[in-house]
Structure 1
Amino acid sequence: MALIRLMQRRPDGEIVFREPTSGNVPAYATLSHTWEKEEVLFQDMEAGADMSKAMSKAGWRKIEFCAKQAAADGLQYFWVDTCCTI
């Protein structure tokens, strides 16, 4: 069972969903935002999901922003309220 659900921005810029299962949770940024139409949800990001659906939603731009901001702060992991919770 996962301790926390996180997003990860890989060095190549790809954004993926991660569920660390050990007690070694990496440093991460908590980046919440205003909910609007077409938010990316947990179901859009879970294993086996079609990422093109998540990436086509308007809320994907906010996830990209969060990934870039976390990277600018020296972090590759981040938590977003709309898709890291069920």
Structure 2
Amino acid sequence: MVRRLNIDSDGQGGLQGHGGEQRAVLVYRTQSYAYWCKVFERDDLEFGRFGENFTVDGPADDEVCVGDRYRIGEAEF
């Protein structure tokens, strides 16, 4: 369950930089994994490797702005 301050059972190690109302969920693009596989010369990077809660096939980084809202299931981010 996604809540205002966190996702149930998702703890953070350092609350100064993670969690809270504006930093409760990290979303990462599937396309970014292809980039990092190339940079690191690896083919074994699994989704979630960068600590994201959701890995999505979404808009490019230069198409996303602070304040944008997206819906994943019934939750709005």
TM-score band by shorter chain is: under 0.3
**TM norm structure 1:** 0.23
Structure with more of its chain in helix, by fraction? 1
Scaled by the length of structure 2, the TM-score of the pair is 0.24
Q: Which has the higher contact order (CA 8 A, sep 6+)?
A: 1
